[in-house]
Amino acid sequence: MPPAGATIRRQLTVDRVAAVFAVATLAVAWIAGSMLAQRDDERLIRRALPEADRLEPRGTGAYAAYRSGDLVGFIATGDARGYGGPIRVAVGVSPQGVVVGTAVMAHAETPSFFKRVASRGYLGQLVDKRYDEAFEIGSDLHAITGATVTSRALAEAVRAASRQVAGEHLRLPVEPPLSPPVRFGAPEVAVLLLFAAGFAERRFRTKHRSTLRWATLLSGLLVLGFWYNTPLTISKVSALLIGYWPAWQSNLYWYFLIGGILLVATVSGKNAYCAGFCPFGAAQECLGAIGGARLTVGHRVRRNLMWLQRGLAWAALVLALLFRNPGVSSYEVFGTLFSFTGTAAAFFVLAVVLMLSMFVRRPWCRFLCPLNPLYDLVRMLRERIIALWNSPRTGGAPLSI
């Protein structure tokens, strides 16, 4: 049996090789995804105006569409934020400024919401509307029940694209788009307070530390979980990696959350979110408090499951980057708990995880959550950078932190 030091060194080497492999393959997936997206863009754009036999680029991403040499319209793409992420729609507009066709080019929407909207022909409501109509749910459009945010996002995308064509290519009068108002409300305040509470809990080691920790956990569960249903998911991370950066004015919450996590991880190496106020982690801890969560899993099984978890996180990111669609590989069951939506598999896994949580500590976080391996990667990179930074001052010997 090799000595413990040799085993740890071997595991560290394996971890580093795996990290390099993961980063390299993610970079390849990112590049391949961009190339595939470019290749498919024109084909998908054509679906917005299928009668055209020739498209001519006209700048700002728009195309003039011709049939037998006659102009039959223009195609532009519009973007809007759905519930899970951005949605991009190609919109065909006639020379009179009427929407004649739409095609979803890419979306990062939660698959169940998107399927609901797509299967009920919602996009059909948007055809035959003039560019200067309201395109508003409750005014001239009916939302699909249970997918209102997705319905609204599709309408906004089509409105934006049709108005772009009308203003830039048809020279029709268009009202200038309003810049989105800065949204700073309860979720933003809550996430800042939770970071502050986590900081206070670590900084001031009082006898009330455990109480403070439970307070942040329960606040996370109730506010970020059941109230706003805004836990951090792998699709949020992959959306940012792909380049879908939402407008900061209406997404301060996400910038505070992800920026705060990265800031704390960089400065202190700690994981402020998972241990502090992740709503799903809190739900598991509550059940653990009821059941005791005293059973432990053997080292070998734990190690194998850790690699399975890393593989899942890697596969989820690779698929999202390849298809440039963060929703495609999102497998978390957070929404199933907090908004009672999801597939049969999601409900099954949720039930399994919640039952296990009573006897084993945080089974989702330790064996399934894709964010945990990502955090490991960030931590490993941080340690490596610190080691490299310190090495000249210590005669080449990297410092451990």
Partner 1 sequence: MEQPANRRRPAVDLIVLAAILVSVAWLAYDVGVNVQAELTRLGWGR
Find tokens 């970071």 and name the residue: 195
The amino acid that residue 85 corresponds to is G
Which long-range contacts does 200-206 make (Cβ < 8 Å, 24+ apart)? 201/276, 202/268, 202/270
Q: What DSSP string describes 207-268?
A: TTHHHHHHHHHHHIIIIIIIIT-----HHHHHHHHHT----GGG-HHHHHHHHHHHHHHHHH
- For partner 1, the closer of residues 165 and 360 by Cβ is 360
Q: How far is the CB of 93 from partner 1 (least distance, A)?
A: 22
- For partner 1, the closer of residues 171 and 294 by Cβ is 294
The amino acid that residue 378 corresponds to is V
- For partner 1, the closer of residues 169 and 236 by Cβ is 236
List, in sequence order, every residue forming a beta bridge with 86; answer none if it has no partner: 81
| 398 vs 262: CA distance, rounded Å | 23
Q: How far is the CB of 276 from partner 1 (least distance, A)?
A: 16
- For partner 1, the closer of residues 341 and 390 by Cβ is 341
Q: How far is the CB of 382 from partner 1 (least distance, A)?
A: 23
First to last CA, the chain: 28
- Which strand (E) or helix (H) includes residue 75? strand 70-81
Q: How far is the CB of 329 from partner 1 (least distance, A)?
A: 5
- For partner 1, the closer of residues 338 and 364 by Cβ is 364
Residue 351 neighbours by CB under 8 Å, 6+ apart = none
Find tokens 């996009």 and name the residue: 123
- For partner 1, the closer of residues 253 and 338 by Cβ is 338
- For partner 1, the closer of residues 277 and 364 by Cβ is 364
- For partner 1, the closer of residues 215 and 297 by Cβ is 297
- Find how far residue 315's CA is from the centre of its chain: 15
- For partner 1, the closer of residues 103 and 252 by Cβ is 103
Residue 112's nearest CA partner among 244, 241, 235 is 235
List, in sequence order, every residue forming a beta bridge with 65; answer none if it has no partner: 55, 73
- Which strand (E) or helix (H) includes residue 106? strand 99-107
Angle at 40 between CA 38 and CA 41, to 5 degrees: 65
- For partner 1, the closer of residues 89 and 165 by Cβ is 89
21 token code pair: 């492999």
The residue ranges that bind partner 1 (CB under 8 A) are 36, 40, 43-44, 104, 111, 293-298, 301, 304-305, 308, 312, 316, 319, 323, 325, 327-329, 331, 343, 345-346, 348-349, 352-353, 356, 359-361, 363, 367-368
| 39 vs 42: CA distance, rounded Å | 7
Q: How far is the CB of 353 from partner 1 (least distance, A)?
A: 7
Asked whether 391 and 398 are in contact (CB, 8 A), the reply is yes
Angle at 7 between CA 5 and CA 11, to 5 degrees: 115
Q: How far is the CB of 179 from partner 1 (least distance, A)?
A: 32
List, in sequence order, every residue forming a beta bridge with 360; answer none if it has no partner: 295
For the chain, the farthest-separated pair of C-alpha atoms sits apart, in whole angstroms, at 80
Tell me the residue length of the chain: 401
